[in-house]
Structures are given as C-alpha cells and as structure tokens.
Amino acid sequence: MTTLALAVPAATGDGPETRIDGRNLRAEHTRRKIVAATRSLVEETSALPKVAEIALRAGVSVRSVFQHFQEVESLFLVVFDEIVAEAQAEWQPIEPTGPLSARIEAFVSHRAAVCERVLPVRFAAISVEATSPAMAERAKVARALVRQHIERAFRPELDRLQPTDRRLTLDALRAALDWDLWMNMRRFHDLSAEDAQGVWHKIVTGLMGAAV
Amino acid sequence: MSDATAATPQGAIAGGPRPKIDGRVLRAARTRERIVNATIDLIRGGESTPRVIDIARTAGVSTRSIFQHFDDTEALFAAVAQQVVESLMPLAKPIESTLPWEERLDALMRMRIQINEALLPFRRAVALHQPRSPKIAAGVTAGRLFARERAESAFAPELMRMPEAERKQTVDALLAASDWQMWFGLRMTYGLDLDAAAATMRRMVGSILMQATSSRELSSVVAA
C-alpha cells in the first residue's frame, strides 16, 4: 500500500502550530479527494479525465486542483503509480519448482489478473506515454519487473537453453505476456478475460514446449 | 473536395468551361494525393501525429490548401489509413489450403510479417487516434476481420477437425500471436531485429498449430 507522507509538523497543543496542522491536514484531505476522484474517473472511462470532471467528482474547484497539481499529467502519474503498486504488491511469485504445466497455468492466471486490474489506467496512459518521459520510464521499470518474474518461474527451462536461444525465448515470453498484448486482446480483439487468458496459455505452452 | 463540388452539370451541358473543370478536379485530386503521401512519409519518419505545417511543407502546398482538401485531421488520417491499406493489398493473397501444412505456415508468416513490418510506424498513430476516430476504428476492425479470414482459410483442414470451442481458441491464439501488436512488441519494445522477430513469430504461431493438431498429422517438427 502506498503511504502518503503528511507534511504535518508535530502538534504541540494550542497556538500557531495547531492552526498549521489543521491547514495541512485539510490540504492533504483535498489532495486525497482529488487523487481518488481522478482514479475513479480513469477506472470508469479508461481515459485521461479533464480537470473540470475531476473537480466536479472531487467536489472541489478547478483552481484547487491546480493548486495541488501543476498539470493533469502529474496527477495521472500519481494515480498510475497507486494502481500499479497495488497490483504489483499482490503478485505472488511462482517458484521454479514442480511441473512446468502447473507453473504455466499459475503464471498466466496471475499475470492475467494483474493486467486486467491495470487495464483502464494502461489504456489511458497510451495518450500520455508518447510525450511523457516519466510515463515511458515507468513502463520500462514495470517491464523489467515482469522479466524477473518470468526468469524466476521458468528458470529450469530457460537455463537449459543456449544463450542466444535463451534470450530469444525470454523476449518472446515477455512480448507475449506484455500488458499491451492483454490490452490488445481485451479491447481490440474483444476477447473476454477468460478467452484472453486461454490464448496466453496456448502461446506460452507453445513457446515453452518448443524450448524444451 | 470543395474543388470537386464546383464541377456543375450546367457547365458540362453547355459544353463551355468543361475542360477547365476537369483540370481543376484533376489538380485537386493530385494535391489531395500529395498531402496524403506527405503525411504517410512523415509518419514513416517517426512522427506519429505530424503537424499540419510540416505536412504542408513536405507536400509543397500551403496549410490553407490542406484545410481546403480535408475538413479536419480525422478526415486526413482516414484518407491515410485507406491509402496504407490499399498499398498492402498485393501482400494479402489467399493461401491455398491444399498445400502442405508447413508451406501454408510459411505463406501466412510471410504475409503477416510483411504487413506488420509495413504498419510499424503507424501503430502509435493509430493507438492515439483510434478512440476518437470512428473511421480509423472501422479500418482497424476491417483489418482484424481480414486477418481472421486469411488464418481460418489457410488452416481450414486442421481447424475443421476440432470441436467448436477449441477451434475458436486456436484461431484467437493464432491471431494474437501474428498480430501487429505482437510484432510491435517484438521489434520495438523488446528490440528484436527483423530476422529474430520473424523467427520468433513463426515459432509462436507454429507451436499453437502443433498443440491443436494431433501428432500423427504432423510428421515434421516446426523448425525454430
């Protein structure tokens, strides 16, 4: 869970410090309302919301939104980080033990759950990514993490391969299990989550079978 | 387009200004083509949403001219999409289902890889404009349906033998594995060169077919 650092000075009872505490707490409360409103809108529409929509949903003024966030992009990044961090925290690593088929089943099922969860914010991020180095950096970090998960779950099979083949198999798995491919299947091929997971199962089974 | 509507029937019937109207219509069509091609060149050069001023300069026309020929950017991008699709049609020949299994796989892969590679520069532009542009969304849907038809007909003999549920799942997997999104991932996101990406995609698609088809029908293993 992401924790918010509250810029609240230590309470010393009455006087100016107490008033500052109150103001900071209110500011923090407003900020959280804005982030929560943005998150709801993103998850409902899979799009980057307009400031006016955010203000309305949060029950604050447009001016208030801009007091807390310089532009919508930085607000969106906060929401993105929140959703992705929650999804990543729920990931249960698949250990490289036991039959391959069980590990494929578990990995595909877990990965599908994560991708489904971040799908709205990932879809919304498309329009931001092209012009936002901060978003591109986040995608890079997220992909590096998935690579670690894949290498862990399928270590025995991958380690049996020659370096070039190992690299290609790993890249194929990464491309196949990429969140953009999940988005493609769900949003552009109109597959149900269940069917999309079935497709992943077929693709990964095929790749691992060929590798053995 | 406004020039084309200036070709009135009266002029044609009177037989007077007719040659001038035809010339105007021709010039308008040629200018429109130049604008579309300039936009395509800029997108191929890496600019997913080219600016009107750059399109104008590349096409050798005024920015005013662009707005005279296209009502808005959606109309321009729709024309670009149409032009790109038309240029890919020669690659899209049907695959003869009586050929041996591996040759059909080779033919399908050649087709998919050529089309996917040609579409690479447009992937980002499409992703950006698809939600707002019904014409582009329709074009993408048409492309998907076409790819489905080609895959289903190429592997009809194998697919026919499967129960309905397995057939759908196999086709869905074939399409996802040979899709331009998969190609974009392999080539751009994960940086594989053309040959490595082609070999990887062929392996993915081949292994999906191998799972579906019983081993006695396939005597040869698909080479990686």
Q: pLDDT at residue B195 above 60?
A: yes
Confidence tier at B40 by pLDDT (50, 70, 90): very high
**Closest to B79 (Cα-Cα) out of B106, B117, B105, B43:** B43
Q: Which of A181, A188, A199 sits opposite B185 (nearest CB)?
A: A181
Long-range CB pairs of B102-108 (<8 Å, 24+ gap) are B102/B220, B102/B222, B104/B154, B104/B155, B105/B202, B105/B205, B105/B206, B105/B209, B105/B222, B106/B202, B107/B154, B108/B150, B108/B151, B108/B154, B108/B155, B108/B178, B108/B205
The answer to whether A170 and A207 are in contact (CB under 8 A) is no
Lowest mean pLDDT among A116-125, B16-25, B130-139, B159-168: B16-25
Is residue B215, in this structure, part of any structural domain at all?
yes
Residue A109, Ramachandran bin (φ over 0: left; ψ between -120 and 50: alpha; else beta):
alpha
- The pLDDT assigned to B4 comes to 43
- The dihedral built from the CA positions of residue B65, B71, B74 and B76, taken in this order, carries a sign that is negative
The answer to whether A171 and A211 are in contact (CB under 8 A) is no
Q: Do A62 and A92 belong together in one domain?
A: no
Q: Do A129 and A153 belong together in one domain?
A: yes
Q: Do B189 and B137 belong together in one domain?
A: yes
- The pLDDT assigned to B3 comes to 43
Name the more confident of B22 and A210. B22
**A:B CB pairs within 8 Å:** 96
Mean pLDDT of the region B199-219: 77
Regions in chain A scoring below 50 on pLDDT: 1-13, 211-212
Confidence tier at B10 by pLDDT (50, 70, 90): very low
- The pLDDT assigned to A205 comes to 95
* Burial bucket for residue B47 (CB in 10 Å: 0-12, 13-18, 19+): middle
Q: Which domain holds residue A135?
A: 78-211
Our CA-based measurement puts residue A12 at a distance from the nearest CA of chain B, in whole angstroms, of 53
Question: What is the C-alpha radius of gyration for chain B, rounded to an integer number of angstroms?
Answer: 22
Question: What are the chain A neighbours of B170 within 8 Å (beta carbons)?
Answer: 202
Residues 6+ apart with CB under 8 A from B215: none
| ipTM here | 0.84
Q: Which domain holds residue B31?
A: 21-70
Our CA-based measurement puts residue A188 at a distance from the nearest CA of chain B, in whole angstroms, of 8
- The pLDDT assigned to A211 comes to 41
**Residue A168 contacts B where some CB pair is shorter than 8 Å:** yes
Is residue B4, in this structure, part of any structural domain at all?
no
Q: Which of A122, A128, A140, A184 to mutate to test the interface with B (most CBs of B within 10 A)?
A: A184
Residue contact A168–B124, C-beta within 8 A: no
Q: Do A108 and A195 belong together in one domain?
A: yes
Q: What is the CATH number of the domain that holds A34?
A: 1.10.10
Q: Do B190 and B117 belong together in one domain?
A: yes
Name the more confident of A16 and B223. A16
Our CA-based measurement puts residue A205 at a distance from the nearest CA of chain B, in whole angstroms, of 8
Mean pLDDT of the region B11-38: 76
* B93-119 pLDDT, tens digit each: 899 989 999 999 999 999 999 999 999
DSSP-derived secondary structure letter, A95: P
Q: Which of B124, B179, B200 sits opposite A130 (nearest CB)?
A: B124
Is residue A9, in this structure, part of any structural domain at all?
no
- The pLDDT assigned to A15 comes to 55
Q: Do B57 and B108 belong together in one domain?
A: no
